[in-house]
Structure 1
């Protein structure tokens, strides 16, 4: 009997080596970072309750503006995003998320500028959160005819910047280098006029106390840079604190405004119901669109909410994606959101309220 030819013996070995090499290549490719982000449902947080062992909303209005006990829940909803600045996702992670109905895969450039750093992204979301809180309180006080004054605040401080550890988000700006201004642009001009190499002297009001601070600077494009963002704010006659840890962004504005209004009015606005929602809010009370609303509805349902307030501008994304057991009401203003919560609280029904499909 003749022996197999050498080429016949080599074919199975070559095939095995080729298959193993292909598997290694596929595995390696699946672990490479790709330019996508993955949005997943985040926690739904009751603004009337606690978060990370700390009360979220604290209000001290003194004898003139007392607070009242409330009941039920007003939940702000969040989205967890993987793949942002400083954090890349792999092809394998994207593939898994693609087949998960509760998550979304988006091109990274839709959410983040190409050259944005993790620090810059964190500063941006911090500014958005600070501004949304200011506007939310203003809208609630407008509804209650409680007057307040417009002012300029430190809306955000960049991590690791010269001002980090000296200034804090929410500081009300009174003077820069001994001079005052009437608006954000005026204070920015005063800061920019600081001679090179000198600290910026900032007088701010923090928790009701005036402080004069020496803020270090660094040179950037020939100008002193503290690493802060100044923004429009308000000087309220009541002390309002909102603490949600490291959660950032502007999308909780509507739920903040409802919660402040609830605590400053007798009775429970919700009637004891568990209501979640989302939506930016501006100083005029307009409710704006947000991102990740499908994930936020899932998060609300998982947290036990029975009702959900959605910005009217997001209705195209809501229709056909409402989780079972969740009733969604569309709102476009604070007045509409307040009316929806009051109606749900008193009737337990959304039958007479507008929806994204009506």
Structure 2
């Protein structure tokens, strides 16, 4: 009897040990997979994802979904194996997503800033495409002479009497003056135009040049105001879909003809569409929510066509103009340029 018990224990012990190790020991990998998608023409939390105030907005239907990649960290052996065999997830070394020595908070903050920048680029690209006027707005006021005087959202009207028409005008006006110089800045906050005299400090990277501590950017001319209402999303890859939603809302008709289109891609203020990571997972996410067409940055086409989910049509885009024309072709039933 004792020998039988010992034999049973000897057989079960390795299984129990494997179970403990598999659930307790974590692996140096993260799992990437399909993340949530958001219809940029729709609502989230009772608010429009792309909210336009102060001007007429054209009614829209259908879907222009932005897509995301999920990242699952802290995996144990069993979880990692499960994701690996799922067919819809991939394992990558954790160091590729969370570089060693860089605090998680710093990485998250950088991703959030990338997302914020993509919103600004998306707005400007759409306004330029539609030939709508823009103004120079303060995106950020950091530690510097302007702190406590100027605020994010202020519209810059002139500096030392010279009109401000573009962000580069601000950079030129400030950097052309030595530290200690006084600048007269005319700005508009809400409906009120105000004037401030600000003494320049030395620029941190070049002490011979003046420094205000501000980050200027472009935006819609008041009273029009554009707000993007998505939180807890990082990275720059929503830019293209944000721009398309804004173009759709500010122009007559419907870009996609009410169809279900999803996509991804960074965008700069000139409307150029750039590549992103995790294209295969974003395509799966799009297919799973019902998308029929997926807009792919040209630089991602080779990867995308090798892993296209069944039933999803790929459309290659290089810039905002091309993306708009592609949607118009889809609406009219014409052929589009794929990733062949």
Normalised TM-score (structure 2) = 0.76
The alpha carbon displacement at 1:50 in A equals 0.7
Q: 1:210 to 1:171 in 2, by over 3 A?
A: farther
Q: Equivalent residue for 2:219?
A: 235
Aligned pairs, how many?
Answer: 301
Q: Equivalent residue for 1:160?
A: none
* Secondary structure, counterpart of 2:35 in structure 1: strand
Q: Deviations over 1:260-312 (max 9, x none)?
A: 11111011111111111000111121111112211111111121111110111
The alpha carbon displacement at 1:173 in A equals 6.4
Q: For 1:16 and 1:209, how far apart are their aligned partners in 2?
A: 84
Do the aligned residues in 2 keep the contact of 1:67 with 1:263 (CA within 8 Å)?
yes
Q: Equivalent residue for 1:21?
A: 13
The alpha carbon displacement at 1:152 in A equals 4.0
The alpha carbon displacement at 1:171 in A equals 2.9
Q: Equivalent residue for 2:27?
A: 34
Q: Equivalent residue for 1:328?
A: 314
Q: Equivalent residue for 1:76?
A: 66
1:182 to 161, 166, 170: 170
Q: 1:233 to 1:14 in 2, by over 3 A?
A: farther
Aligned Cα root-mean-square deviation (Å): 3.8
Q: Equivalent residue for 2:201?
A: none
Q: For 1:22 and 1:210, how far apart are their aligned partners in 2?
A: 76
Q: For 2:266 and 2:64, how far apart are their aligned partners in 1?
A: 15
Q: Equivalent residue for 1:58?
A: 51
1:140 to 121, 126, 140: 126
Structure 2 residue ranges without an equivalent (≥5): 143-147, 157-168, 176-186, 195-212
Q: Equivalent residue for 1:164?
A: none
Q: For 2:189 and 2:101, how far apart are their aligned partners in 1?
A: 34
The answer to whether 1:172 aligns with 2:153 is yes
Q: Deviations over 1:92-146 (max 9, x none)?
A: 1110000111112111111221133332232122111110010001001111112
Mapping of residues 102-251 of structure 1, within 5 Å? 102-154=88-140, 171-172=152-153, 182-183=170-171, 233-237=217-221, 238-251=224-237
Q: For 2:120 and 2:108, how far apart are their aligned partners in 1?
A: 19
Q: For 2:119 and 2:226, how far apart are their aligned partners in 1?
A: 9
Q: Equivalent residue for 2:82?
A: 96
The answer to whether 1:314 aligns with 2:300 is yes
Q: For 1:232 and 1:37, how far apart are their aligned partners in 2?
A: 37
Do the aligned residues in 2 keep the contact of 1:34 with 1:91 (CA within 8 Å)?
yes
Do the aligned residues in 2 keep the contact of 1:131 with 1:231 (CA within 8 Å)?
no
2:40 to 47, 68, 74: 47
Q: Equivalent residue for 1:268?
A: 254
Q: For 1:17 and 1:291, how far apart are their aligned partners in 2?
A: 49
The alpha carbon displacement at 1:18 in A equals 3.3
The alpha carbon displacement at 1:150 in A equals 4.0
1:258 to 220, 244, 249: 244
Structure 1 residue ranges without an equivalent (≥5): 1-8, 158-166, 176-180, 188-203, 212-228
Task: Choose 258-267 or 229-238, whichever is displaced more.
Answer: 229-238
Q: Equivalent residue for 1:4?
A: none
